[in-house]
Amino acid sequence: MRDVAAAAGVSHQTVSRVVNDERSVTEPVRERVRAAITALGYRPSAGGRAMARGRTEVVALVVPHAAGFTFGNDHLMRLIGGAEQEVAARGYGLLLSTREPGGDAMSAFTRFDRRSLVDGFLVEGGAGLTGLSDLLAQGYPAVVIGYADDDLPMVHPDDEGGAYAVVQHLLALGHRRIGIVNGPAENHLAMAARRTGVTRAFADAHLHPDPTLTDRGDFTAESGQAAAVRLFDRADPPTAVFAFNDGMALGVLQWLRESGTPGISVAGFDDTSAAPVAGLTSVALQSQDLGRRAAQLLVDQLNGKPPSERRTIVPSRLMVRSSTTPPTQPKSGSRRRGSHNVKG
Amino acid sequence: MRDVAAAAGVSHQTVSRVVNDERSVTEPVRERVRAAITALGYRPSAGGRAMARGRTEVVALVVPHAAGFTFGNDHLMRLIGGAEQEVAARGYGLLLSTREPGGDAMSAFTRFDRRSLVDGFLVEGGAGLTGLSDLLAQGYPAVVIGYADDDLPMVHPDDEGGAYAVVQHLLALGHRRIGIVNGPAENHLAMAARRTGVTRAFADAHLHPDPTLTDRGDFTAESGQAAAVRLFDRADPPTAVFAFNDGMALGVLQWLRESGTPGISVAGFDDTSAAPVAGLTSVALQSQDLGRRAAQLLVDQLNGKPPSERRTIVPSRLMVRSSTTPPTQPKSGSRRRGSHNVKG
DNA sequence: GACAAGCACGTGAACGTTCACATCGACGGT
DNA sequence: ACCGTCGATGTGAACGTTCACGTGCTTGTC
Q: Which of B117, B121, B220, B323 best probes binding to A when mutated, by most A CB atoms within 10 angstroms? A: B117
- Burial code (b: 16+ CB inside 10 Å, e: under 16) for B155-180 equals bbbbbbbbbbbbbbbbbeebbbbbbb
Q: How far apart are CA B271 and CA B74, in angstroms?
A: 9
3-state secondary structure of B78: helix
The amino acid present at A219, given as its one-letter code, is F
Query: What mean pLDDT value characterizes chain A?
Result: 87
Q: Which residues contact B45 (CB under 8 A, 6 or more apart)?
A: A50, A51, A115, A116
Q: How far apart are CA B119 and CA B93, in angstroms?
A: 10
Q: Which of B273, B287, B322 best probes binding to A when mutated, by most A CB atoms within 10 angstroms? A: B273
- Is 60 exceeded by the pLDDT of residue B340? no
User: pLDDT grade, residue B208 (50/70/90)?
Assistant: very high
Residues A319 and A281 sit within 8 Å (Cβ to Cβ):
yes
Closest CA to B269 of B242, B251, B290: B242
Residue B193, pLDDT score:
95
- Is 90 exceeded by the pLDDT of residue A297? yes
- Nearest Cα residue in chain B from A20: B115
User: pLDDT grade, residue A128 (50/70/90)?
Assistant: low
The amino acid present at A252, given as its one-letter code, is V
For D14, nearest residue by CA–C1' is B52
- Is 60 exceeded by the pLDDT of residue B335? no
Q: Which residues contact B51 (CB under 8 A, 6 or more apart)?
A: A45, A47, A48, A51
* B94: nearest CB among A48, A95, A250: A95
Beginning with the edge strand found earlier in the chain, give each strand of the sheet holding B178-182 in spatial order: B214-216, B178-182, B240-243, B265-267
Q: How far apart are CA B106 and CA B97, in angstroms?
A: 12
- What percentage of chain A's residues is helix, strand, coil (to nearest 5)? 45, 15, 40
3-state secondary structure of A119: coil
Closest CA of chain B from A43, distance in Å: 5
* A3 closest-nt by C1' vs CA: D16
pLDDT digits (tens, 9 = 90+) for B59-75: 999 888 764 444 567 78
Interface check for A46 against chain B (CB to CB < 8 A): the answer is: yes
Residue A70, pLDDT score:
43
User: pLDDT grade, residue A329 (50/70/90)?
Assistant: low
- Measured between beta carbons, the chain A residues lying within 8 angstroms of B280 are none
Whole-number distance in Å between B71 CA and C22 C1': 59
Interface check for A72 against chain B (CB to CB < 8 A): the answer is: yes
Q: Which residues contact B110 (CB under 8 A, 6 or more apart)?
A: none
Q: How far apart are CA B66 and CA B123, in angstroms?
A: 15
pLDDT digits (tens, 9 = 90+) for B251-284: 999 999 999 999 999 999 999 878 888 899 999 9
Q: Which residues contact A342 (CB under 8 A, 6 or more apart)?
A: A261, A262, A263, A328, A336
Q: Rounded to whole angstroms, what are the CA distances from A333 to A265, A305, A330, B248?
A: 16, 59, 9, 42
Burial class (CB in 10 A: 0-12, 13-18, 19+), A206: exposed
Interface check for A1 against chain B (CB to CB < 8 A): the answer is: no
Closest CA of chain B from A119, distance in Å: 11
Q: Which whole number is the average pLDDT over A260-267?
A: 95
Percent of all residues in chain A with a pLDDT value above 90, rounded to a whole number: 62
- Nearest Cα residue in chain B from A112: B93
Lowest mean pLDDT among A166-180, A190-204, B269-283, B315-329: B269-283
Cβ contact, residue pair A73, B273, below 8 Å: yes
Task: Specify the length of chain B in residues.
Answer: 344
Strand ranges (DSSP E) for chain B?
58-64, 93-99, 120-124, 142-145, 154-157, 178-182, 214-216, 240-243, 265-267, 282-284, 311-314, 317-319
Burial class (CB in 10 A: 0-12, 13-18, 19+), B145: buried
DSSP H/E element including B221: helix B221-232
* A51: nearest CB among B48, B58, B113: B48
Q: Which of A273, A285, A287 best probes binding to B when mutated, by most B CB atoms within 10 angstroms? A: A273
Which residues lie across from A311 on neighbouring strands? Answer: A154
DSSP H/E element including B300: helix B287-302
User: pLDDT grade, residue B77 (50/70/90)?
Assistant: confident
Q: Which whole number is the average pLDDT over A297-326?
A: 92
Interface check for A25 against chain B (CB to CB < 8 A): the answer is: no
Q: How far apart are CA B72 and CA A104, in angstroms?
A: 29
DSSP assignment, residue A213?
A: G
Cβ contact, residue pair A95, B67, below 8 Å: no
Q: Is the CB of B36 under 7 A from strand D?
A: no
- Is 90 exceeded by the pLDDT of residue B107? no
Query: What mean pLDDT value characterizes chain B?
Result: 86
CA–chain centroid gap for A151, Å, is 19
pLDDT digits (tens, 9 = 90+) for B14-49: 999 999 998 889 999 999 999 999 999 898 999 999
Q: Rounded to whole angstroms, what are the CA distances from A17 to A43, A54, A56?
A: 14, 18, 18
- Is 80 exceeded by the pLDDT of residue B128? no
Residue B332, pLDDT score:
43
Residue A328, pLDDT score:
84
Burial class (CB in 10 A: 0-12, 13-18, 19+), A203: exposed
Interface check for A65 against chain B (CB to CB < 8 A): the answer is: yes
Q: Which whole number is the average pLDDT over A197-220?
A: 95
3-state secondary structure of A335: coil
Residues B111 and B97 sit within 8 Å (Cβ to Cβ):
yes
Residues A210 and A202 sit within 8 Å (Cβ to Cβ):
no
Strand ranges (DSSP E) for A43-111?
58-64, 93-99
Quick check: pTM over 0.85?
yes
* B116: nearest CB among A45, A66, A250: A45
Beta strand pairing status for A317-319 and A311-314? unpaired
pLDDT digits (tens, 9 = 90+) for B140-187: 888 999 988 778 899 999 999 999 999 999 999 999 999 999 998 766
Q: How far apart are CA A96 and CA A77, in angstroms?
A: 12
Q: Which nucleotides of chain C does any protein CB come within 7 A of?
A: 7-12, 14-20
Residue B339, pLDDT score:
38
Residue of higher predicted confidence among A319 and B117: A319
Q: Which residues contact A18 (CB under 8 A, 6 or more apart)?
A: A25, A29, A30, A33, A34, A37
User: pLDDT grade, residue A72 (50/70/90)?
Assistant: low
Q: How far apart are CA B262 and CA B241, in angstroms?
A: 13
User: pLDDT grade, residue B307 (50/70/90)?
Assistant: confident
Residue B103, pLDDT score:
59
